[in-house]
Amino acid sequence: MEITLSNVSKNFGSNKVINKFNYSFKKGVYAILGKNGSGKSTLLKLIGNLSYPSAGKIIYKTDQKIDITKKIFFSSPYQELISELTIKEFLNFHKKFRNSITDYNKILKKFNLYKYIDSKIENLSSGSIQKLRLIISFYSDSEFILLDEPTTNLDSEGKKNYMEVLNEFADKKGIIIATNDKEDIIEKNTSIINLNN
């Protein structure tokens, strides 16, 4: 799968956030860098078909007819999870809508969440909830993973786990990361898109 943006612009009223952006995304890791307000999250939503451009076009090239929304997974710290469910209930519910790994136990242990498997999401810390977002992002069936500020609320151990999983999937999927923190990416293996330029 390939995602191509051709002369894409996005306006909010008179404010032009993205202006004639051109780029093609394939398998591999990409980082959209920029200061607050530079349009990182807006661009990520455009790529994920969660927002529509004011001008230009976005082309999703695939070898077969598929539902694009099933092949792209978007995650952000402001993404709400179903708070009244336990982790186990939530993951079982998630599997009904997105193909994912059948056994989350190993990855829950990796992220130090297994001990909370029967805890309601509303009772978890913000860091634990962000770990859960990352788990469903990486381990659901998709060709592209879009991550907005992926290490928000994570402690040093959580960031280490994130980097290990990022490395695991770096050559298997298209991974696009919007961040202003270079610790979120592996620079030597990442294509950098700097919106500050």
- Which residues pair with residue 55 across a beta bridge? 9
Q: What per-residue confidence (pLDDT) applies to 56? A: 98
The 10s digit of each residue's pLDDT in 114-164 is 999 999 999 999 999 999 999 999 999 999 999 999 999 999 999 999 999
Q: Is the pLDDT of residue 185 over 80?
A: yes
Cβ–Cβ < 8 Å for 182, 33: yes
Sign of CA dihedral 30, 109, 88, 98: positive
pTM: 0.94
Could you count the other beta carbons within 10 Å of the beta carbon of residue 66?
A: 12
Cβ–Cβ < 8 Å for 106, 140: no
Q: Is the pLDDT of residue 110 over 70?
A: yes
Could you count the other beta carbons within 10 Å of the beta carbon of residue 1?
A: 19
99 — pLDDT class (breaks 50, 70, 90): confident
